[in-house]
Amino acid sequence: MTETNHTELSEKKRLNFVEEIVWEDLKNGKNGGKLQTRFPPEPNGYLHIGHAKAICMDFGIAEKYGGECNLRLDDTNPVKEDTEYVEAIKEDIQWLGFKWGHIYHASDYFQQLWDFAVKLIKAGKAYIDEQTSEEIAAQKGTPTQPGTPSPYRDRPVEENLALFDKMNSGEAEEGSMVLRAKIDMASPNMHFRDPIMYRIINKEHHRTGNKWKAYPMYDFAHGQSDFFEGVTHSICTLEFVPHRPLYDYFIDELKDGKDLDDNRPRQIEFNRLNLTYTVMSKRKLLALVKEGLVNGWDDPRMPTLCGFRRRGYSPESIRKFIDMIGYTKFDALNDFAMLEAAAREDLNARAIRVSAVLNPVKLVITNYPEDKVEMLEAVNNPENEADGAHTIEFSRELWIERDDFMENAPKKYFRLTPGGEVRLKNAYIVKCTGCKKDEAGNVEEIYCEYDPESKSGMPGADRKVKGTLHWVSRAHCLQAEVRLYDRLFNVENPSVDERDFRELLNPDSLRVLENCFVEKFAATKKPQDYLQFQRIGYFTMDKDSTPAHLVFNRTVGLKDTWGKKNK
């Protein structure tokens, strides 16, 4: 990085403590002025919105300070990993708008890690333990009580080397032995009490096949992978704070005591994103998918990025939300309503306005000619003139929302009521003359008369009425299914609830309305085109939609009704 660059950057506002650290390191010329980060997901599930927070940090900081961020697939456990997840991870990162420098895999370092483990064995710093995992756990001690050394702790180097080979050759059974670092069974940091470096897993790896049977643990793979790649700042979440001394320990060993301060990855931790009314654990999300409790990883109720995408969230709204919550050193529970507010703000600027009636009732304009059809102009997006306009058919018989009519309305009811006037959006002012009801008293048809001089946009048609209703023309609209989503869980923080998370699911998280009507223009859109159903909310077409059976998802309502419901 050049002098001028530094000066320019110093002018930029640094948003959080991680940026402060990175900025200081760059200013001090650490690592030769280089900035390299990585985003290291394990390909054992789809990315969720928590990952988006890490992505915005890892990629965002590299972008802002002239560095590079790589994607590293942390694929050290073949039991749960799959290429399906790898592809999904790439798609989600790109969708959020980020570009990686390189794609790396922890599995590319299996040989290097093996060689390093052999080196530690030879130096008397690692040994094969043949106890069961229960025995090992029982000897760990507590933070205030030292652990008990394993009976295998002092076994000769040659024996360790021979057994380590057996761990990988298939001669040793899964669970029969592990390789442990010989560090300090009395350390106040539990991670130093002879942590496990390798275990045996007899399962084909999606990249390395059957070459390996001994697989490195997270703590023996992550820091070294950072080091091999030249990562300068290894940014992760707070639960890794107690792992940091071990991270540094293995890197010290790798560097053989040389050049300790420069060109070594520095681990920095920030707080995780936790969202109300949902869970972030991949294990639980996988269970929801596998047990059919949701309809796949991209079910619009899921907190996965593909779920939000399918539901109609823009990547910008997710990034805006992450900016709003910021990065700190304290764990918190973030309010889902805040994410929705970010989405509303973003979609308001983007969404194309269309008309749709979700709970229809027939409106007949009795003084409008029977076979007349007018093509009216509807502005696509009042927030952006460049989005233009489209036309919508108007005729004698329309659908309007059942809720927009009330026979005996209170005084301040500004929608349709006998004797009252409203404007039909982009069309005319109509006056209600009555309605027809069935035997049970349900309104079947509403009647009104229109004022031909009140057409929107016509000179002299600016007569004001209090209410404006949306509508679609009965003969020109299309039937559609509309899916309304609510919170996936009934409790604010399912992760800390004692009950099984399945019991906490909201049984009403999906409501399907089969008999909705949309204007034709809405059907020309595709999934992830952002729509506003006027006066209702933001919507997008679902991937299940076909021309013969239209399906739309509600992304978020126009107003925060959830907050109100709970008050």
Q: Give the CB-nearest residue to ligand ATP.
A: 50
Q: Which residues lie across from 435 on neighbouring strands?
A: 446
Interface with ligand ATP (CB under 6 A), residue from 54, 120, 302, 339: 54
Which of 48, 182 has the CB closer to Mg ion? Answer: 48
Tell me: does residue 483 bind ligand ATP (CB under 6 A): no
Residue 68 — φ and ψ, nearest 5°? -130, 140
Q: 537-541 and 531-533: which strand pairing?
A: antiparallel
Helical ranges in 432-514 per DSSP H = none
Would you state the structure tokens that stand for residue 287, as one six-digit string? 């269970």
Q: 234, 224 in Cβ contact below 8 A?
A: no
Tell me: does residue 105 bind ligand ATP (CB under 6 A): no
Tell me the three state secondary structure of residue 544.
coil
Rg of the chain over CA atoms, in angstroms?
31
Which of 71, 550 has the CB closer to ligand ATP? Answer: 71
User: Alpha carbon of 483 to those of 185, 457, 466: distances in Å?
Assistant: 57, 34, 30
Tell me: does residue 41 bind ligand ATP (CB under 6 A): yes
Tell me the three state secondary structure of residue 60.
helix
Select from 39-47, 307-315, 321-329, 487-495 the region that touches ligand ATP (CB under 6 A).
Answer: 39-47
- C-alpha 243/C-alpha 349 separation (Å) is 44
Q: How far is the CB of 42 from Mg ion (least distance, A)?
A: 5
Catalytic option among 14, 42, 284, 481: 42
Tell me the three state secondary structure of residue 2.
coil
Cβ-count burial 130-163 (b if 16+ within 10 Å, e if not):
ebeeeebeebeeeeeeebeebebeeeeeeebeeb
Pick from ligand ATP, Mg ion, none: which does 282 bind, CB < 5 to 8 A by kind?
A: ligand ATP
- C-alpha 39/C-alpha 234 separation (Å) is 9
Cβ-count burial 539-560 (b if 16+ within 10 Å, e if not):
bbbbeebeeeebbbbbbbeeee
Q: Give the CB-nearest residue to Mg ion.
A: 42
User: Is 487 considered catalytic here?
Assistant: no
Q: How far is the CB of 49 from ligand ATP (least distance, A)?
A: 8
Site residue total, ligand ATP (CB under 6 A): 15
Tell me: does residue 42 bind ligand ATP (CB under 6 A): yes
User: Is 282 considered catalytic here?
Assistant: yes
Select from 278-286, 352-360, 446-454, 496-504 the region that touches ligand ATP (CB under 6 A).
Answer: 278-286
> Any residues with CB less than 8 A from the CB of 119 and at least 6 apart, and which?
none
Catalytic option among 125, 203, 272, 425: 272
Residues 227-246 that bind ligand ATP (CB under 6 A): 236-237
Pick from ligand ATP, Mg ion, none: which does 180 bind, CB < 5 to 8 A by kind?
A: none
Interface with ligand ATP (CB under 6 A), residue from 34, 213, 266, 282: 282
Which of 183, 287 has the CB closer to ligand ATP? Answer: 287
Residues 14-73 that bind Mg ion (CB under 5 A): 42
Tell me the three state secondary structure of residue 10.
helix
Catalytic option among 282, 431, 474, 554: 282
Interface with ligand ATP (CB under 6 A), residue from 86, 172, 273, 531: 273
- C-alpha 52/C-alpha 271 separation (Å) is 13
Give me the residues that bind ligand ATP (CB under 6 A), please. Answer: 40-42, 50-51, 53-54, 74, 236-237, 272-273, 280-282
Any idea which residues carry the catalytic annotation?
Answer: 42, 272, 282
Give me the residues that bind Mg ion (CB under 5 A), please. Answer: 42
